[in-house]
Structure 1
Amino acid sequence: MSAPGQPLVTIAVPTYNRAATLERTLASALGQTHRELELVVSDQASTDGTERLCRALAAADARVRYLRQPTNAGGSTANFNLLAAELRGPYAMLLADDDWLQPDYVERCLRLLVERPELAVAYGRARYFDGDRHVADGRLHDHLEEAPAARVTTYYRTVDDNGVMYGLMRADALRGALPMPNVLGNDWLLMGRVAAAGKIATIERTHVDRAVGGTSASVEKIVQTFGISKLQARLPHLTVAWQVLADVGWRSPAFASLPRAQRLRTALLSALGAINWRSLAYHAFGPLIERAGRLPGLRWTSRALAAVRRRFGGDGVLTPPPGEADR
């Protein structure tokens, strides 16, 4: 449990120039049925109304800590990493500045973590919204294998939208997974490391609600936000697979307890599991088909590509709500 005077749960929100969505995010955190929590907002020198909003909330509610960084250096990855030192409670979670929590989210996730000490993460299943319209559900993440290597490989076979990153975690597991490198797929690397630290379970009766169209709306937008090479957007799943191979295989200390041969095998299986082959094919051949569709007599190829994307998606990021795929 928490030490006297310290919160039981820390909710950490990195933000930059998102005042329009941040107010709903923070209200959902402060409105949790579990009240013994602290809300820490790290603002990378926003130039909109973010500072005014956060200072007003901090003045009105002692549970709010507002940290204003002097610059936006390092982008969103640096801001996530800065929050590692601010996790004062034994349980912690990250919350994006355009997402919001159901009122019982922390209460339900915390109850499961207390009841099951083998869990590193309790995750209320993500739901995705376009405005007020529910458009998709995140993947279920139940990685309950006893062996860390097995949990890591099943995580990478499962992940797509990675809403599980916004589950409630044991703070030690989250700290042990940070810092995130500023590379494509870094949120997957983070949760692969957490999976090595402990089991992960999904609660389907509560949700973290996420707005589509943010940083994760497309690979190109992620590349632009992170400030990394546009070349990585050409075959993003191969880029991510390489990052997974390196992170699990030799780069991250989170996997150091695995025997060398097992670690390399886990890295290879994880990297292969991280590849969305449908998305890989789309990114590899989609631009060629689009260019061909501009030629006389081949315009049907562009129409066919558009139909395929409407039916199956391009990046392969979201899972349709139950029943929608059959309609």
Structure 2
Amino acid sequence: MPACSPPPSQQVGVVVIGYQDAAHVTDAVRSALAQGAVVREVVAVDDCSADGSAELLGRLAAAEPRLRVLRRPANSGGCGTPRNTGLAAVTAPYVMFLDSDDVLPPGAVDALLGAAVEERAEVVSGLCVRRELPSGREVPWQAPLYATRTVVAHPARRPRLVHDTLCVNKLYRTAFLRRHGIRFPDGRFPYEDFVFTARVLAAGPRVALVPDPVYVWHVRRSAERLSISLDRADVSNWRARTHACRTAYDILLAAGQKRLARAARAKFLDHELRMYVRELEVRDVRYRRAWWAHTRAYLAEYDAADWTRSPTAPGRLIGRVILASPEPRDLPRLRELAARPARLLPPYPTGSDGLPVWSQDLPQVTLEPLLTRPVRLLPLAADAELRPSARGTRLSLRLHELYGRVERAGGPVAVEAQWRRREDGRCGGRRTAVFGPPERSAPRAGGAVWPVGVTVDPAALGAGTWELRLRLRFRDGTAREVTAHARADLPGHLRRRALPSTRHGIVLVQPYATHSGALALRVAPGARGVATVVRGRLRRLLH
């Protein structure tokens, strides 16, 4: 493949919006200016901040002719209006958006503009990386879309595009947006990018996808003022999200993009619904009731075709349970089903016809497709118990039968257990073990259970938070990657322990259940690590 020619200079305008973010806004602007000659202008829109943001930007603009600062006379209450203000001021042929607390990585604009010019694309989208702060852990957003460079002649040919609702990891031809009158919702409109992205897709642009990292989304969970996507403690956030999803669906449907509209509804079930269900169990009773009632009303708008394809896919199954019950129920089991990968915990009841159902009192929620679904897609459930001990730490696993599907695969042969450090994704080593013969339990409790044990050396893992991933191999040659359900019901199982170590002197070990119920492990080696944990606990107690 011939080398790509460099992108033409002064072709891109970057709109940076900010409100009360003096600590970060200049870093965002500088990351845009640092993209080089390809950036004609950076339009910084301050949404009437009172923390000195506008003054900081003004001083920066005095030394940088490419920077223009616009200050709104009153706060708009959202992100849409300042973005519209910036978009109206841009003179460059291409435009992109940047939030004040994020940054553009080096080469981002070159990668996007190069693809736009070479592929004659009206929209170019690249990989966004979520960077957790202060840990620095990076997680790619919607990575499967950006595995290779791709050109999509029309969005309907790639319905998966509806899953990337971000507006900031994309470059747009300015004339395209203006010709179709594409703007953000004004005022306080949470999840405004859902609507903007739907308007873009509804206009049918030629889209190019590039695998290059083009945007760094900073996730600050400890910030005093949480971003909209993180501030989910009040049910109003869920109402705003469903409203944005409904609006996006209506936009696509009105434009005749039925395939994209249906894909948007499927995305809601697979992403939004699963994300909020994982948190539902920790909310108070009032929140749960309000959330459940609102969700039932929203899902009642779905038609039959929205449910018929893959009816036991995790999001669809969760939605069917919610629709079938007027009150919140089975929250622990729904939380596990919402995990990635999904886990369907026992019991595994059958209806009067002998076919699988969610529960005896919800026989209308049938699970019959599980009898034919490929093993690699089944929501298999494994229980995990980790008991740290000075004599050796052992991980005990028990794989549950699922309506005979495990036995039909010949039963499990072996499991490969892998610990991955959450902070940086590093693998802490793999251990493989062979399953023992099945233990029989009551059919309603799940039938057969296959046990297996794996040794763990917390000292060798090192400091950090470690997530457990399992790869199951079956006798018929199939395989399935799963996570393990943490046995929180066992007395003392998730208790912190201090273990002697020849390498570190002492290691503090704590198994715990993640927000989706999976087993994870925190390790703090050495006296310094132990002291850090103790200080952190004291701070939490004092606050």
Check whether TM > 0.5.
Answer: yes
Mapped to 2, the partners of 1:183 and 1:215 lie a distance apart of 13
Mapped to 1, the partners of 2:125 and 2:238 lie a distance apart of 34
**SS, match of residue 10 in structure 1:** strand
Mapped to 2, the partners of 1:17 and 1:270 lie a distance apart of 33
Q: Which residue of 2 aligns with 1:212?
A: 219
Tell me, yes or no, if structure 1 residue 247 matches structure 2 residue 259: no
Q: Which residue of 1 aligns with 2:89?
A: 86
CA gap of 1:145–1:20, structure 2 versus 1, over 3 A, is: same
Shift of 1:211: 1.0
Percent identity reads 22
CA gap of 1:265–1:9, structure 2 versus 1, over 3 A, is: closer
**SS, match of residue 59 in structure 1:** helix
Shift of 1:77: 2.2
Shift of 1:55: 0.8
Mapped to 1, the partners of 2:118 and 2:70 lie a distance apart of 33
Shift of 1:70: 0.8
Residues 132-171 of structure 1 mapped to structure 2, 5 A cutoff: 133-140=136-143, 141=145, 144-151=151-158, 153-156=159-162, 158-159=163-164, 162-163=165-166, 165-171=168-174
1:32-82 Cα deviation digits (max 9, x unpaired):
134442000111221112122111111101101011111103432221222
Tell me, yes or no, if structure 1 residue 68 matches structure 2 residue 62: no
Q: Which has the higher contact order (CA 8 A, sep 6+)?
A: 1
RMSD: 3.8
Unaligned runs of 5+ in 2: 1-8, 221-225, 289-329, 343-421, 428-466, 470-543
Residues 1-327 of structure 1 mapped to structure 2, 5 A cutoff: 7-131=10-134, 133-140=136-143, 141=145, 144-151=151-158, 153-156=159-162, 158-159=163-164, 162-163=165-166, 165-175=168-178, 176-180=181-185, 182-196=188-202, 197-213=204-220, 214-220=226-232, 231-234=235-238, 238-250=242-254, 255=255, 258=256, 263-264=257-258, 266-275=260-269, 276=271, 277-282=273-278, 286-287=282-283
Unaligned runs of 5+ in 1: 1-5, 222-229, 293-300, 314-318
How many pairs are equivalent? 287
CA gap of 1:16–1:241, structure 2 versus 1, over 3 A, is: closer
CA gap of 1:9–1:57, structure 2 versus 1, over 3 A, is: same
1:253-283 Cα deviation digits (max 9, x unpaired):
xx3xx4xxxx455424422333324225335
Is the deviation greater in 237-246 or in 111-120?
A: 237-246
Mapped to 2, the partners of 1:50 and 1:87 lie a distance apart of 21
Mapped to 1, the partners of 2:189 and 2:48 lie a distance apart of 22
Mapped to 2, the partners of 1:215 and 1:272 lie a distance apart of 25
Rg larger in 1 or in 2?
A: 2
Which has the larger strand fraction?
Answer: 2
Mapped to 2, the partners of 1:323 and 1:308 lie a distance apart of 26
CA gap of 1:22–1:304, structure 2 versus 1, over 3 A, is: farther
CA gap of 1:63–1:174, structure 2 versus 1, over 3 A, is: same
CA gap of 1:291–1:22, structure 2 versus 1, over 3 A, is: closer
Shift of 1:163: 4.4
Match of 2:237, as an amino acid?
A
Mapped to 1, the partners of 2:336 and 2:267 lie a distance apart of 27
**2:152/2:207 contact within 8 Å kept:** no
CA gap of 1:148–1:291, structure 2 versus 1, over 3 A, is: closer
Shift of 1:303: 9.9
Match of 1:115, as an amino acid?
E
Shift of 1:242: 1.8
Mapped to 1, the partners of 2:72 and 2:55 lie a distance apart of 14
Shift of 1:13: 0.8
Mapped to 2, the partners of 1:169 and 1:323 lie a distance apart of 36
Which has the larger helix fraction?
Answer: 1
Mapped to 2, the partners of 1:19 and 1:188 lie a distance apart of 27
1:168-205 Cα deviation digits (max 9, x unpaired):
22113344421335544321221232234324344333
**1:237/1:279 contact within 8 Å kept:** no
**1:42/1:83 contact within 8 Å kept:** yes
Match of 1:242, as an amino acid?
R
Mapped to 2, the partners of 1:271 and 1:98 lie a distance apart of 30
**SS, match of residue 23 in structure 2:** helix
CA gap of 1:201–1:146, structure 2 versus 1, over 3 A, is: closer
TM-score normalized by the length of structure 1: 0.73
Match of 2:274, as an amino acid?
R
TM-score normalized by the length of structure 2: 0.46
CA gap of 1:150–1:289, structure 2 versus 1, over 3 A, is: farther
Mapped to 1, the partners of 2:63 and 2:10 lie a distance apart of 17
